[in-house]
Structure 1
Amino acid sequence: MPGAACLALKSTHREPIMIERSLSVLIVEDNLALAANMFDYLEACGHTLDAAPDGKSAMRLISENHYDVIVLDWMMPRMDGISLLRHLRTELRNPVPVMLLTAKDQLDDKLLGFESGADDYIVKPLALPELEIRLRVLAARSHKRSDVRQVLEVADLCFDLGTQTIMRGGVQLPFSPIRRTLLEVLMRNSPHVVTRAQLELLIWGDSVPDGDLLRSHMHLLRRTIDGERIAEQKLLHTVPGIGFRLCMCP
């Protein structure tokens, strides 16, 4: 249970610096006692939470859910925090705000964290009220920028990230969580190729199930967005031996 009351910081500016709403938070921390303390405190502050003990488990949760902010430990088994962070930023182009959590307090360590894509950096041992406030600040900054990146568009295909609504030619399309995640990655990387290995890592981590499930998902994804359109209007393209790309390709 938390040992202190939750703090609500208000600004004297015309707009509050923080958004007073429940946040969806993912805690990625292999120290179970510390993870439980953060989980209990943030939950008592009204936030909704998931937790993962390592980077691979976190990847699966990120592929299935939307988070307002991620608390990410640096030193972990099965993909450390820096590796996960770089994968999010460079491979998946995922802009979710990330608070890097670590015992490393040297300037070079902090610089490496920020260069890898962290939005903030907090050193252990941490004060839970400070953590909660800083998470709100990160989410508020992201919220203010959301109008810039809220909608992904490729040709006449539109993906509203805020409402999770996907439309093509003005018609709303049905999507499962996995195929919605696949589409988001392909749209963020359009017109470039995303490899099969990258997509499998995103969805299943290092526990890829037997059988070519990715092929099945991509078949259904193609049927949903392209349907019976003529070849020149199709958006999802297979690059043999490599992967897939989403574009109005000649």
Structure 2
Amino acid sequence: MKILVVEDNPQVAETIMDYLELAGHQLDCAYHGQAALQLLAEQRFDVIIMDVMMPRLDGLSAVTRLREQGIATPVLFLTARDSLDDKLAGFRAGGDDYLIKPFAMEELEVRLQALALRGPRGNIGAICVGELTLDHSRGQATRAGIPLKLGKIPFQILTLLVRRAPAIVSRQELLDSVWGDEEPDSDALRSHIYALRNALDKPFATPMLETLHGQGYRLVAR
């Protein structure tokens, strides 16, 4: 299995990774939710171990956001919070399993194997905004039935805009979602928005991507 460990305690993360690596699995690690989202935008994992209480972006918020982005990878929440309300909050956020600290490593691995065998959640499905259709699971977008040729980052930007449409998505939220901690130079976002606009709007009579100066960007149905 290829497993992503999202845990802000380096000692806990190292213990989990050492055990699972010895068991023959591939591991990667993020120390907060924002870094996890960035890794998940770039790589595919079979299952995610997600701590709940973390700086920058907590586990519940991170999983809510990745589900909004169409990422269906199974998630096991790992936390010391053991009340029924805490567990229900984890499942409502999009989690698939919930393991309370302290725990046995053998149980953790068995639960991960069960999640990996179950596979990703059923296709979160294509989302339509007017004549635009986006299928995140296939990495495809069409407008009026015509496929859009988009690079990886413009597609990520479009995915977030589609998930939030018709709400405004701020420039900072786009930067955080796409680049995480490694914020690019000031022209990078502008360049990718330009590429997205060319693919999404240029071939058509009416634009869908709106820029609201000082606020951000949004998609409008056409």
- TM (normalized to structure 1)? 0.70
Corresponding position: 1:189 with 2:167: no
Q: CA deviation at 1:28?
A: 0.4
User: Structure 2: any 5+ residue segments left out of the alignment?
Assistant: none
Superposed CA RMSD in Å reads 3.2
Q: CA deviation at 1:140?
A: 5.8
| Residue correspondences, number | 222
| Equivalent of residue 43 in structure 2, options 59, 65, 71 | 65
| Equivalent of residue 79 in structure 2, options 102, 116, 123 | 102
Give me the whole-angstrom Cα distance separating, in 1, the residues matched to 2:85 and 2:135. 38
Corresponding position: 1:38 with 2:16: yes
Give me the whole-angstrom Cα distance separating, in 2, the residues matched to 1:160 and 1:97. 19
Q: CA deviation at 1:99?
A: 1.7
Conserved 8 A contact 1:187-1:246: yes
* Aligned match of 1:18: none
Give me the whole-angstrom Cα distance separating, in 1, the residues matched to 2:214 and 2:99. 42
Matches within 5 A, 1:1-250: 22=1, 24-42=2-20, 48-88=26-66, 96-138=73-115, 143=120, 145-146=122-123, 149-231=124-206, 234-249=207-222
Q: CA deviation at 1:45?
A: 6.2
Give me the whole-angstrom Cα distance separating, in 1, the residues matched to 2:6 and 2:183. 21
Conserved 8 A contact 1:64-1:178: no
Conserved 8 A contact 1:64-1:181: no
Q: CA deviation at 1:229?
A: 1.8
Taking a change above 3 Å as real, the CA distance of residues 156 and 25 of structure 1, as seen in their structure-2 partners, is farther
Conserved 8 A contact 2:35-2:180: yes
Q: Which one has the largest radius of gyration?
A: 1
Identical-pair percentage: 42
Deviations 1:80-124 (A, max 9, x none): 3344345546x7576554321112334444344345443321112
Conserved 8 A contact 1:39-1:49: yes
Residue type at the aligned position of 1:57: A
Give me the whole-angstrom Cα distance separating, in 1, the residues matched to 2:162 and 2:25. 30
Secondary structure at 1:63's aligned position in 2? helix
